[in-house]
A and B are shown apart, each in its own frame.
Chain A
C-alpha cells in the first residue's frame, strides 16, 4: 500500500481522551487530508508492549511515521491547528 502519510494513534481502551482523540483524528483526516494517507489505531490496553515501537509513554499519542522524520503529538487532538502544524499535515505540510 503506497501511502504518502502514515499515522498511528495510540489509545488506552475507553479513556475519555482516547475516545476524543479517535473522533478528532477521524474529523481531521476527513476535512484536511486527501486519500493518500493510512491511519492505524492501537489500543495499548489490549497489548501494552506495542508502545515500545515508538517509545510511547503518554496516552493518547498520535505518531506520524511517514513522511520521515517521525513526529509525535500527545493529547486528544482537539486543537486542530496545533495538530496540522505540529505534524505538518494537509496544507500545513
Chain B
C-alpha cells in the first residue's frame, strides 16, 4: 500500500506510529469509513474510489432512464449520464468539452438557469416545451442544490414527459367529449366499426331504456323509415357511416319507445385517427312534440275552414230569409244588421272562451241587456251553469236574438211590467232544457204567417237525439222550450 524511507532508519516510536496508522487505515477501509485510497507508485500516485463509493453511485446514475447532470457552482459540467446525452443527442465527450449550456438552445438554457436559481432554497421543478428535431416535446427539469467540496453546485434531472402530457391532453379531451355527449339534449349514440354501441347518452336511454352499450345498434333501436327515405333499414345508417358518408335529417319512427316516438335521425362517420371511419355517431331528435303541434295546427285549420264556411252559409241564409220577410229596404237593413250583430256577439263570447264552450246565461244576459232597466221590463235567469259547444252556441245565440226581438216588438219586453224568465233543467243523457217564459206583456196572438225568425227558432237547434225547440204562443206570454246538447258545467 504505502512505501516510504527505509524502515530501519526510523525510531521505534516512529515505527509504532506507522504501525498504528496502517492498522487504523485497514480498519477504516474494512469498516467503510473511507471510500477512496491513495496508491503510491514510483511514477505517480493515484486515487482510487472504493467499491460502494463513487463508482457505484455513477453506475446507478448510468442505469437511470432519466437524464442526470451535476454542475459545480460555476456551471461547469461535473457529470452527465448516458440518458441525458441521449436526450439532447450529444456524445459524452463533446458535452464534457463544450459544457452543458453550449449544447442547449437559448430558451432551454434560460429555463434551466431559472430553475437552478429557484432551487437555491430547495428542490424546484419546471416543465417546458422544447423543439427537437423539428417537433415539440415536453421536458421536465428538476434542480436541487448539490453540496460540493468547494461550493454548492446543482444536481439536475431531465425527463421527457411528452407522452405523459399528450396522454393527459387526450384524457382531458376524452373527458370533455364524454361531457358534451352526456349533456346534449339530443340522443347521441356512438357505435364502433361493426355497428355495436360503445356509448349512449341519457337522452338515448330515454328513447330506448336499458343497457345499450355492447348491443348492435339495429337490434337496440329497430327504426322504421318512411318510403322514399335514404335509409330503408336501421343497418343502412351504420353502412353509410362506414362508407364515410354523413346523412342528416332522416325521419324515422321508433315503435319500441314508450310512448312510440317520431324521430329525426342523422348519422356521421366517427373519425379517430387516419382516414378510415372508426365507427359512427348517430343523433336522434325527438319529433313527437313537433308532430303533435303540426297535427293540432292542421286540425285547427280544418276547423277554421269549417266554421268560416258555416258562418258564411248562415249569413247568406239570414240575408235571404230576412229579405223575404222584410217590408222594405230600411226594414231589411235594421233586421239584417241586428241578426248579424247577434251572430257577432255570440262569436265574441266564443272567442273569449277560446271556442271551447260557452256559458248559456252569459249569452242571454248579453242579448237582453240593452232592453232592461231598473223601472222595467225585467229578466229573471235561473241557474244555467251549463256550457255548450261552438256550433250549438251560435245557433242558441241566434235563437235568443229572435226571441228577444219578438219580445221587444210584441211581447214581454214591450211593456214596463213585462218579465222574461229563463230557467234550465237537466234531462236524461247529455240533454239540457232551457225554458224561455214571457209574462206581464201584452196579450199574445198566434202570428198570421210563419216568418224566418220562427223557422230559425224551431229548426236551428235541431241536431237529432231529441234536440230542438218548440214555441208556444200562450195568451199570457210566449213560452219557448229549447233542448240542447251540453258539454258540461260552465
**Residues of B contacting A61 in the complex (Cβ-Cβ under 8 angstroms):** 34
Contacts of A17 in B (CB 8 A): 33-36, 53
A22 interface hit (Cβ, 8 Å): yes
> In the complex, A70 Cα to B29 Cα: how many Å?
21
| A59 to B48 CA separation, bound complex (whole angstroms) | 10
If the complex has contacts A43-B149, A55-B4, A75-B28, are A12 and B47 also in contact, measured as CB distance less than 8 A? yes
Residues of A within 8 A of B40 (CB): 51-52
Q: Is the CB of B38 within 8 A of A56?
A: yes
Q: Does A30 contact B (CB under 8 A)?
A: no
User: Quick check: A48 and B36 within 8 Å, CB to CB?
Assistant: no
A44 CA to B25 CA in the complex, in Å?
16
The answer to whether B49 and A51 touch across the interface, beta carbons within 8 angstroms, is no
How long is the Cα–Cα vector from A60 to B25 in the complex, in angstroms?
11
Cβ–Cβ contact B28 & A48, under 8 A? no
| B133 CB–A CB distance under 8 Å | no
In the complex, whether A87 has a CB less than 8 A from a CB of chain B is no
* Contacts known (A15-B53, A17-B53); A57 close to B25, Cβ less than 8 A: yes
Q: Which residues of chain B (1-32) have a CB below 8 Å from chain A?
A: 1-2, 4, 18, 21, 24-25, 28-29
When the two chains form their complex, are residues B38 and A51 in contact, meaning their CB atoms are under 8 A apart? yes
Instruction: Give B48-59 as 1s and 0s: 1 = Cβ < 8 Å from A's Cβ atoms.
Output: 010001100100
Contact of B147 among A12, A19, A58 (CB under 8 A): A19
Partner of A22, one of B35, B44, B47, B149: B149
Residues of chain B contacted by A60 (CB below 8 angstroms): 34, 36
- Of the four ranges (under 10, 10 to 19, 20 to 34, 35 or more), the interface on chain A belongs to 20 to 34
Category for how many chain B residues contact A: 20 to 34
Q: Is the CB of B33 within 8 A of A74?
A: yes
- Determine if A59 and B37 form an interchain contact, defined as CB atoms under 8 angstroms apart: yes
The docked-state distance in angstroms from the alpha carbon of A56 to that of B78 is 25
Instruction: Evaluate contact between B149 and A48: CB separation under 8 angstroms.
Output: no
Query: How near does chain B come to A46, taking the closest CB pair, in angstroms?
Result: 9
Asked whether, in the complex, the Cβ of A12 is within 8 Å of the Cβ of B28, the reply is no
Expressed in whole angstroms, the Cα–Cα distance for A41 and B38 within the complex equals: 16
Residues on B with beta carbons closer than 8 Å to the beta carbon of A52: 40, 45
Q: Is B148 an interface residue (CB 8 A)?
A: yes
Given contacts A15-B36, A59-B36, A74-B25, contact A48 B47 (CB under 8 A): yes
| Contact among A13, A48, A58 for B25, CB-based, below 8 A | A58
B26 CB → nearest A CB, Å:
9
B46 within 8 A of A: yes
In the complex, the answer to whether B57 meets A16 with C-beta atoms within 8 Å is: yes
A23 contacts the other chain (CB 8 A): yes
A-B complex: 10 closest residue pairs judged by Cβ atoms: A75-B33, A48-B45, A58-B34, A12-B36, A74-B28, A59-B36, A51-B38, A17-B35, A58-B25, A15-B54
Complex A-B: 7 CB contacts under 8 Å: A11-B149, A19-B148, A51-B45, A55-B2, A72-B24, A74-B25, A76-B33
Q: Other CB < 8 Å A-B pairs besides A15-B54, A51-B45, A61-B34, 14 of them?
A: A11-B149, A14-B149, A15-B53, A16-B35, A44-B36, A44-B38, A48-B45, A55-B2, A55-B4, A57-B25, A57-B37, A59-B34, A74-B25, A74-B28
Interface residue ranges, A against B (CB under 8 Å): 11-19, 22-23, 41, 43-45, 48-49, 51-52, 55-61, 72, 74-76
